[in-house]
Amino acid sequence: MNNKLLKSILALVSAIISVNVFGLASDNFLGITIILFILFFFYNFILKNISFDKRKVTISLLLAFIYTILNLLGNIVINDLVVSFSFVINIIGNLILFSFICLFLFSKIEDLIKVREKFSFKFNIYKIKHFKLIVMIILFVCYIPAFIASFPGVFAYDAPHQVTQFITSNIGNNQPVVSSLFIYLIMSIGKFIFSSWEGGLALFIVVQMLICFYVIAYLLDFLREEKVNPIIIIITLLFFALFPVNHLFMVNSGKDTLFSYFFLFFVITIIEMFKDKEKFFKSKGKVIRLVILILLTLFWRNNMIYVFIITALIYLIVLKKNCLKWLIIMIVTIVPYFVVTGPVYDSLGIRNSNTREMMSIPAQSIVNIYTKNSDSISNKDKKMIKYYFGTNNVEELKGIYRPFNGDNTKVSINNEKLLENTGDFVKLFLSLSFRYPVDFLEAFLSNTLGYWYPNINFPNDGVYPQKYIEYTNSTYEVEMMTDRYDYLPSLSNYYLDLGEGRGLSMLGPLAFLGNMGLILWIYLFFIAYSIYKRRYNILLYLIPLALLFATNLLGPVVIFRYVYYLLISMILFVVLSFRKE
């Protein structure tokens, strides 16, 4: 049998399986014939453009297997599917489809790189003077309409609580104190200058923009120094300047915007460190910058301490000759963090972080397991559940449990009792999870669905009630709330519709850039392709992103602001993964 005939048979078999697996079959013979015809040529086209080698096939199959499992788990959670013969057939069909796609992309990327390297602007972008300043000016001009449309800015998410705790002197570390103090101080300066909190918020938004614009300019300058194709640099500039999702974050006072750009700057600096370790550690300026960025990320989001400690220990092993210098960086960042958040906060009477936040997944799991298996739960465990949740009545606990949003369950825990007996709560969670693993997995997958499953329609899907990006001011009962003026109502209504209305569908072909599940799948492709090309250094750069994402999976709710850093960091890994060398 010749190679051409073999590929044709394989394409036909794949087409038939796809028709049946993906529900494309119908009673209309003509319709089935047309679909088969299209799929046959689709698979045949891919087969003709695939080059096979053992390493490529192996890694493609592994990646396709991961995609298949995530896709089917998402289907199970959404549609309450059960494992059956048709389920197994579905796995096979998905595996075939994803394998073909992965093999095709792996085979064609080198060709795309060659085309990209040849296609470039005639002017020399690498010799532009004051490049970062020019980029910041361009960005500022592009963001003026968004700023005016939302004037004086969106006072949403945690920002009202962060400011109010300083106004009322009831300060706690549930919202990171340093980031709260920063927004309060900037807004207070603005209030003093403009005689209103609205003026204070406007000043904060401008300061936030300037900080983020500098990080973007540094990113583009870093790409320029790496001799990245000018087309890529221009596209990146246009993405940050014009993409509406970035506008929504930039005019929002929530701490996630600044954190995301601090974290991006931190990742760029880590890449610089690994590219030329000797030169980096000889530069006092770069080392000091790294220390400052580490401290900023640590004090801007509470979960970063776990991310950095694990990252730092891994890098301590990898750096070898420079491990002592890295150890010093660890000491001068981690030690001050624990001193400030421990003895200093205690002496100032600042309350510790609310433990309930990090217990969101255990709380969801305990309630889901108990409401489904209450008859087989021991009296001892029932008493423990009543101790922490205030009740062990099945109907009451069913009333607070929302599979796709753990906020309700989280706030139902008695925080004082949790602080006193955190260990017993963890033991209860582990004990029940080991005894009822399926119910634990169901609670975990449901609560984290949006992070890893792309096929959710944001934001109005019935299983995904969270707002995509808040554009209206929060309605919390707080000490102070700013007014909005929205001087460009048409543009303001567009942002409102994008943020809280129709959502990503308004972005057309660019909607994938805000799909959290798809963003994760893209990063998985970066990892697989880097392994295929043996560019293992890229995996080192991805460690802090992967660990931070892991902490997001433990949170009470899936929302895009928690993973915005993945979107704005993506260009780094596109460039690094797909470079010619």
Q: Which of 426, 452, 478 is the last residue of a domain?
A: 452
Longest dimension (CA), the chain: 84
Residue 447 and residue 316 in one domain: no
The predicted pLDDT at position 408 comes to 83
Residue 181 and residue 233 in one domain: yes
Residue 223 and residue 339 in one domain: yes
pLDDT band at 356 (very low <50, low <70, confident <90, very high): low
Distance between CA 353 and CA 347 in Å, rounded? 15
Nearby residues of 417 by Cβ (< 8 Å), 6 or more positions away: 387, 388
Residue 201 and residue 216 in one domain: yes
As for how many domains the chain has, the answer is 3
The answer to whether residue 126 sits within a structural domain is no
The residue whose two tokens read 């453009």 is 49
Mean pLDDT for the chain overall: 85
Residue 247 and residue 194 in one domain: yes
Nearby residues of 539 by Cβ (< 8 Å), 6 or more positions away: 527, 530, 531
pLDDT band at 145 (very low <50, low <70, confident <90, very high): very high
pLDDT digits (tens, 9 = 90+) for 408-444: 888 888 878 888 888 888 899 999 999 999 899 999 9
pLDDT band at 1 (very low <50, low <70, confident <90, very high): very low
The predicted pLDDT at position 30 comes to 65
- Asked which of 43-47, 94-98, 253-257 is least confident by mean pLDDT, the reply is 43-47
**Mean pLDDT in residue range 320-344:** 92
**Mean pLDDT in residue range 183-187:** 96
User: For 226-303, where are the alpha helices, taking DSSP H only?
Assistant: 230-242, 244-250, 255-275, 277-282, 284-300
**Mean pLDDT in residue range 452-468:** 59
Residue 432 and residue 318 in one domain: no
Distance between CA 500 and CA 472 in Å, rounded? 9
The predicted pLDDT at position 468 comes to 76
pLDDT band at 464 (very low <50, low <70, confident <90, very high): very low
The predicted pLDDT at position 184 comes to 95
Measuring CA to CA, which residue among 55, 59, 47, 89 is closest to residue 72?
A: 89
Residue 15 and residue 137 in one domain: no
More confident residue, 356 or 394: 394
More confident residue, 97 or 561: 561
The predicted pLDDT at position 84 comes to 59
The predicted pLDDT at position 466 comes to 54
The predicted pLDDT at position 139 comes to 97
Please check whether residue 370 is in contact with residue 394, taking contact to mean a CB–CB distance below 8 angstroms.
yes
Q: Has residue 26 got a pLDDT over 60?
A: no
The percent of residues above 70 in pLDDT, for the chain, comes to 88
Residue 45 and residue 77 in one domain: yes
More confident residue, 345 or 86: 345
The answer to whether residue 104 sits within a structural domain is yes
pLDDT band at 192 (very low <50, low <70, confident <90, very high): very high
Distance between CA 388 and CA 30 in Å, rounded? 61
The answer to whether residue 458 sits within a structural domain is no
CA 289-293-296 angle, to 5 degrees, is: 140
Residue 366 and residue 343 in one domain: no
The predicted pLDDT at position 85 comes to 59
Q: Which of 93, 118, 143 is the last residue of a domain?
A: 118
Whether the upstream peptide bond of residue 459 has omega within 30° of 0, thus cis, is yes
Domain extent for 316: 132-353+469-520+527-577
The answer to whether residue 443 sits within a structural domain is yes
Q: How many CB atoms lie within 10 A of CB 284?
A: 8
- Asked which of 9-23, 129-143, 485-499, 528-542 is least confident by mean pLDDT, the reply is 9-23
pLDDT band at 270 (very low <50, low <70, confident <90, very high): very high
Q: Has residue 2 got a pLDDT over 90?
A: no
The answer to whether residue 460 sits within a structural domain is no
Distance between CA 212 and CA 257 in Å, rounded? 8
119 Ramachandran zone, left/alpha/beta (phi>0; psi -120 to 50): beta
Nearby residues of 466 by Cβ (< 8 Å), 6 or more positions away: 405, 450, 459, 557, 558, 559
Measuring CA to CA, which residue among 419, 427, 420 is closest to residue 355?
A: 419
Q: Has residue 286 got a pLDDT over 90?
A: yes
Tell me the range of 29-38, 139-148, 302-311, 566-575 where mean pLDDT is highest: 139-148
pLDDT digits (tens, 9 = 90+) for 387-406: 888 888 888 888 888 888 88
The predicted pLDDT at position 172 comes to 81
Give, as one character, the DSSP assignment of residue 488: S
pLDDT digits (tens, 9 = 90+) for 360-388: 888 899 999 989 888 888 889 889 988 88
Residue 108 and residue 220 in one domain: no
Residue 548 and residue 502 in one domain: yes
Q: Which of 424, 452, 480 is the last residue of a domain?
A: 452
**Mean pLDDT in residue range 474-489:** 86
Specify the pTM.
0.89
Helices 197-225 and 255-275, axial angle in degrees (round to 10): 20
Give me 162's structure tokens. 């962060």
Residue 209 and residue 329 in one domain: yes
Q: Has residue 352 got a pLDDT over 50?
A: yes
More confident residue, 513 or 281: 281
pLDDT band at 215 (very low <50, low <70, confident <90, very high): very high
Please give the C-alpha separations between residue 269 and each of 28, 47, 74, 286, 435, in angstroms, as whole numbers: 59, 41, 36, 8, 45
The predicted pLDDT at position 53 comes to 77
The percent of residues above 90 in pLDDT, for the chain, comes to 41
Please check whether residue 257 is in contact with residue 212, taking contact to mean a CB–CB distance below 8 angstroms.
yes
